[in-house]
Structure 1
């Protein structure tokens, strides 16, 4: 069964829906997701979104990101990220997103490795608030169609030109032909025993790109978040305890109640310190304590974390939170330029599935949503300018549709083979945690 669209977008996280909203309204756009529209890591983001506060902050923002990324960042892409951050935040405000404010404007917070407060937020559910607001806007767009429960199986290609994708929707195979295809399929957390990601996020876009000889970069650059909620015998997705908790003064303590690390160091530094502390004390966790703050402050600033912890008997206004590192983010992915173009013609990649190079070896806190915004907007702008010159080849050659089970196994094999290059000091945590 064949369908034809101007633009096919695979993934309904922030990168996918924001690119769709920035495409011309006269374009016929299809958004697909292999589960439900809100089952994306963007929806789980707690801390907030980084933004250069003013022109004076741009160079400082760039320096902070370089320091976190071990100076392996793409400086051109990073400068774009900083320079275009404020514009895209203003667009979110235009879409109706209400960030927390005080009498001076945005209520900025700070997180690890930032030298100034520059992170805007919606309490501790920033991603959820942003995604919900943008979905409301998506529903108003008559040119945008959404297919849930639709798995991308392969790209439709000819001579390194992408003409859409082969998909399975509720067990039925479709060929989706399109002038332009955007991969926004997210990261690889579902491949790990312990991750803050949804289990359905299994590196599909990267695996399919590898299969089609699309260039990939830095797959070994995987971030372990220092503080996920520790629950005994829990395997699978762990609840993230936002870095904003530490940004607002939360303290990391060992089992003796002693501090052992600067809580606002870069994530890789804090993670290593926690792993070492757990090893030395033969414990599966350490504590993150914010109970010295007032009850009213905690419940107002971190309402979601307070409620979720309370469900398992932890009142964070009275006692510390047991936390442990868990896989969180992929800095590498499908190699793209500053307009999100891949090495395959008419194929773009945005968000965590892509590698713009802005993060380097280690992502600076709260730069993920910003990257999704900036580079999906740039992709949409380029597509708007060029799509009239793209001819969609009218061919219907037979495509080999593999079963969903086979594709899942293929994803795991390809990604796990690629992870062999991961830094030795994290190998056990990445594969076995």
Structure 2
């Protein structure tokens, strides 16, 4: 290990972490990743693409309008305009470092259509393999960058703060149980989402909101924790996590049917390409009524156009060219996260957040398809520029490494509870019961899974309306005024002495 106190520490090996590390060059960076670089990141599973207004009939302001519409009143207009405006440049940067995007016969980028987009603006690579291809490209670039030191097989365990409460470094633990305290001039969390808290999820099972727990224990404000997006068409084939039948299938003509052969989305505005929360609730209602739901994707050239989906189907005993795919909603993306400003700064000095772990104001109550990789790429650049230009105090060279927190002993119970009571459709009775039980687990174990799950349940209980990805059966209408929610650790339960993470 060759870490210096003047290094910037970036935690996370997905697109957000890798892009931030690269954008920080030539500043020295220590990149902490739990698995071998390029493995176990949700980015690699992304079948969708990257939204960018590149077509002759498109403009960034059209993209921003679609983003705001999907966000159901909580997406921030200036953030939507800024990110949409940054999209073409983000694509250019990926092309410059060698990303082989799909192209038309004339050499122009091929643009696809996804739900709630008013134009064809989704840039893909290898059909439905965009996340994997982008991750591979970024991984090669990081390996080749002399100013990035990669610590593989290490997990962040705590943010370390100085006497003024500023984040001054991070404590990490490797596979062998060794603990290291790493002082840093700045820390960037790019730890991904929390879908693994749910029994039905399309996320890697390690995506359990660890970065949110790190930030909350250091005093950072979390925002809009209740807004979890459930992808409508996870493959119901018994796998955990659930394989994904990309939304792009519906963009190219795939249709949803119940066991009676009824195309139940036919009369819904937008039909199969309605916003994800609408489609997810429609499928959930069919399943609650005892109906099996399938996605009929028996279209021409599915093997060529969607090789990733075809391979997942075959691996689970399905032939998508001959039979429809059984589907159901599953936890897919978290719109909430660590509250950050336009430079990606958290409410605690010295801490930045990028990607799904952050709440930038872009997604609001419901993420527009293929805006997630874009958001990570845009904020990676802005965070790097902010850190490079910041006047940061000299870092301490000796930090005390706290004892690591125990893994959750109630993981299976938490996942089942979240699916059952904090899922697609919620109500006060279920949320109160969930929050009560999660609070008991958190108090008994002090683990991160129960803490993050509790934050979601409590925020969902407080929001007595339905908006975007948050649907309350007992409050089915939206409130007159759209407001953000905020969560602090001190508001959830008394902080104990083990939450102190100060420079020795």
TM class, shorter-length: over 0.9
Residue 259 of structure 2 is aligned to residue 255 of structure 1: yes
- The Cα RMSD (Å) is 2.0
Matches within 5 A, 1:313-328: 313-328=317-332
Counterpart residue number, 1:185: 191
Q: CA deviation at 1:428?
A: 10
Q: 1:109 aligns with which of 104, 108, 112?
A: 112
Residue 313 of structure 2 is aligned to residue 312 of structure 1: no
Residue 226 of structure 2 is aligned to residue 220 of structure 1: yes
Cα distance between partner residues in 2 of 1:67 and 1:403:
41
Residue 84 of structure 2 is aligned to residue 82 of structure 1: yes
Counterpart residue number, 1:353: 357
Show CA shifts across 1:67-93 (max 9, x none).
111021111111111111100110000
Q: 2:276 aligns with which of 248, 255, 267?
A: 267
Identify the structure with the greater strand proportion.
1
Q: CA deviation at 1:4?
A: 2.5
Whether the 8 Å CA contact 2:181–2:400 is kept in 1: the answer is: no
Q: CA deviation at 1:385?
A: 2.2
Deviates more, 1:420-429 or 1:399-408: 420-429
Counterpart residue number, 1:29: 29
Q: 2:211 aligns with which of 205, 208, 211?
A: 205
Cα distance between partner residues in 1 of 2:20 and 2:342:
14
Aligned residues: 419
Cα distance between partner residues in 1 of 2:81 and 2:334:
20
Distance 1:427 1:12, change over 3 A: same
Structure 2 portions without partners, runs of 5+: 266-270, 412-444, 474-504
Deviates more, 1:400-409 or 1:360-369: 400-409
Whether the 8 Å CA contact 1:178–1:392 is kept in 2: the answer is: no
Residue 123 of structure 2 is aligned to residue 120 of structure 1: yes
Show CA shifts across 1:106-151 (max 9, x none).
1111111111111010101100000001111111112111112211
Show CA shifts across 1:265-311 (max 9, x none).
0000000110111122x13x4111121x22xx211111111122112
Q: CA deviation at 1:319?
A: 1.2
Residue 169 of structure 2 is aligned to residue 164 of structure 1: yes
Cα distance between partner residues in 2 of 1:229 and 1:269:
18
Q: What secondary structure is seen at the aligned counterpart in 2 of 1:384? A: helix
Whether the 8 Å CA contact 2:179–2:401 is kept in 1: the answer is: no
Structure with bigger RCO (C-alpha 8 Å, 6+ apart): 1
Q: What secondary structure is seen at the aligned counterpart in 2 of 1:4? A: coil
Residue 425 of structure 2 is aligned to residue 416 of structure 1: no
Runs of 4+ in 1 over 4 A off after TM superposition: 406-409, 423-429
Q: CA deviation at 1:404?
A: 4.4
Counterpart residue number, 1:195: 201
Structure 1 portions without partners, runs of 5+: none
Counterpart residue number, 1:379: 383
Whether the 8 Å CA contact 1:3–1:174 is kept in 2: the answer is: no
Cα distance between partner residues in 1 of 2:395 and 2:131:
38
